[in-house]
Structures are given as structure tokens and as C-alpha cells.
Amino acid sequence: MNSPEPKSSQGDSTKELITGNEVDAGLVGSDEASESSTGQDTVIKFQSTSEFSGPLPPPALFAHYESILSGSAERIFRMTEKQLDHSIDLEKAEASANRRLLDAQIATAARAQWFTFVLVLVFLALAAYALYKGQTLTTAGAGLAALATIAYALRGQKAPPDEYQSSSSDVDTADASTDNDR
């Protein structure tokens, strides 16, 4: 009776098991096993593939890397930590840029409101002066200009553009939950 001999290829592992007349009932008839018999020996072959995703390999693969090149596990850990730090820095930079953009939009809106307020006051003062001097046509014109300025300012208030809302759904979700808490 021969001992099991594992064979490996890149990405896959293939094993042959020669057991004489004994056949493992769990493998016979399954899709993964193929059976060929010659005389009294039975050969059962099965192939398995393993994959992993994520920043770190499984522990068995870590040990294999370490056995091939000492210190490689530590290098993999350092590489993963550096990548994590880099990702965190990028996320902080993006959040900071988004915050600066939002602050700039708020400042622009505040300046526009103050400018509108001052312009309306100027038109109302002009209308009051024209009324005092008996100029009814000028009074009506200045009053209409004040009303038009207010209407234009109110028309300009609308929802933010869709491109900003869809660019960062996580920030929007966090903002929505913060707004609901108030």
C-alpha cells in the first residue's frame, strides 16, 4: 500500500490516493472524484481550489510564506498596516475637502442673502424718498424693484445639485441621520 502523495500546481492542489481495494464511500460517485481501477488497486483523484480575499492571507498560508522566507509574515503585516493607514488618510482628506466645499457653499449663500437684504433696503429707501418728493412713478418703480429682488432671491433657493448628493452616499446618510436627531 502506497502513502498519499500530494501534487500541487499553481493555484490548485491535486491529490492522488491509492488504497488497494478500499474505496472511500464519500468520494465515490461525487462530482469531485474520478475513479479508475486497474486490477486490485483503486485510484481516486480529487482536486481542490482555495481562495481568499482581504488584506491578509489565512494563517496556514502565512506559515508557508514564513517557512519559505523568514520575516515575510512581518513584512506582510507592515504592508497591510501601511495600506490601512493610507486608506484612512485618503478618507480624512476627502472628508476635509467635502467639509471645505460645504463651508464655501454656506458662506456664498450667506453673502447672497446679505447682498439681497441690502439691495432691498436701498430700493425701499429710494421708494420712500421718491414718495416723500411726490414722485409716484419712481416710487412704484423702486417698490417693484424691491419686490423683484426678493422674488429672485426666493426663487434661487433650491435643493443642492444631484451630482454632489450622489458623490458620497455615506456622508449623505450620516447627514440625514444627524438632521433627524435635531
Dump pLDDT digits (tens) for 150-179: 888 888 666 656 555 555 445 554 455 444
- pTM metric for this prediction: 0.46
- CA–CA distance, 2 with 43 (Å, rounded to integer): 11
- CA–CA distance, 161 with 163 (Å, rounded to integer): 6
Closest residue by Cα to residue 15 from 3, 4, 2:
4
Dump pLDDT digits (tens) for 54-82: 888 888 888 888 899 999 989 999 999 99
Of 49-58, 87-96, 129-138, 168-177, least confident by mean pLDDT is 168-177
pLDDT at 54: 82
